[in-house]
Amino acid sequence: MNVDLYHFEPNANGGKPIMALHEKGIAFTSHWVDLLQFEQHSPAYLQINPKGQVPTLVHNGIVITESTPMCEYIDDAFDGPPLRPAAPLERWRMRVWMRFADEYLGPSLSMTAWKRFIGPMMRLRNPDSLKAAVAAIPTEERRIAWSTTIYDGFTEEQITESMRRLAVSAARLEEALVQSPWLAGNSYSLADIVVFNMAAALPHIVPAHASPTQTPRLLDWIKRVGDRPAIKAALALSRNSLRPLRG
């Protein structure tokens, strides 16, 4: 069995399949793709994933993309502890939370984090080489996204709305964890893995809204997920200064 995973830092989208593979106990070959050096747009990587996105899973020569469905593939394709609840209602809750992470929490967190951390880091580079690297990005959509980040093109209204959504997210997670120990119910699932990759940063990004006084259950959940051996093994793959955002 050949399992290759192409990824960046073990957080956000990249962390999901890394954690799922570790939870299943599956050995895989890790291939680091440095987004900050635009390696995802290199000709070699585009041969694997023409969209120039990470992560990408290659299982026995079959290319699997899109990080959240990828996690369900991992749960289906490999032996090991199940990562989805058996009960239909809990499995529905799992998917609702995964969609919440991808469509609501994730984009708001990404905008805020890229404005605060990635944009300033990128602007320290040589302007001409940076401009050339952006121009070489193969799709217009990604060129616009990177240009917005690098040249601080987010509006105040966008940032304000993102911060509001992060506060709402913290409150919503706290409310859910009053009802059950894990997001989908009584069992740990892909919902916890997918949401953890976003929500673990909330105490750092919106400390007034994700704190021991405001959201004690959320912080306890972040610690419980983060203390799992599989999660620790996944986070150990981190290489750069974004690691503190993992809590």
Condensed to tens digits (0 to 9), the pLDDT of residues 50-106 reads 989 999 999 999 999 999 999 999 999 999 999 999 999 999 999 999 999 999 999
Write the pLDDT tens digit of every residue in 152-197: 888 999 999 999 999 999 999 999 999 999 999 999 999 999 999 9
Neighbours of 89 (CB within 10 A): 10
181 with 60, same domain: the answer is no
Rounded CA gap, 66 and 109, in Å? 18
**pLDDT, position 138:** 83
Mean pLDDT of 226-230: 97
Beta strands in 17-163 (DSSP E): 29-32, 56-59, 62-64
**pLDDT, position 36:** 87
Average pLDDT, the chain: 93
Positive or negative torsion for Cα 236, 68, 99, 148: positive
Supply the angle between the helices 190-199 and 12-24 in degrees, to the nearest 10: 140
Rounded CA gap, 66 and 72, in Å? 11
32 with 126, same domain: the answer is no
Retrieve residue 219's tokens.
């912080």
End-to-end CA distance of the chain: 34
98 with 73, same domain: the answer is no
**pLDDT, position 245:** 43
Model confidence band, residue 243 (pLDDT cutoffs 50, 70, 90): very low
Any domain includes 235:
no
Write the pLDDT tens digit of every residue in 195-223: 999 999 999 999 999 999 999 999 999 99
Rounded CA gap, 127 and 28, in Å? 37
Show the domain range for 192: 88-228
Any domain includes 119:
yes
**pLDDT, position 120:** 84
pLDDT of residue 124 exceeding 90: no
pLDDT of residue 1 exceeding 90: no
pTM: 0.93
**pLDDT, position 247:** 37
Model confidence band, residue 114 (pLDDT cutoffs 50, 70, 90): confident
Mean pLDDT of 225-235: 97
The more confidently predicted of residues 203 and 242 is 203
**pLDDT, position 127:** 87
Residue 6 zone, left/alpha/beta (φ > 0; ψ -120 to 50; rest): beta
**pLDDT, position 244:** 39
- Closest Cα to residue 26, out of 234, 183, 200? 234
**pLDDT, position 113:** 83
55 with 99, same domain: the answer is no
Retrieve residue 86's tokens.
């058996």
Retrieve residue 9's tokens.
């830092």
Write the pLDDT tens digit of every residue in 134-157: 888 888 888 888 888 888 888 999
Any domain includes 200:
yes
Mean pLDDT of 106-127: 86
> Cis bond leading into 207, ω under 30°?
no
23 with 95, same domain: the answer is no
Residue 151, domain CATH = 1.20.1050.10
Neighbours of 156 (CB within 10 A): 7
Write the pLDDT tens digit of every residue in 23-39: 999 999 999 999 888 99
109 with 189, same domain: the answer is yes
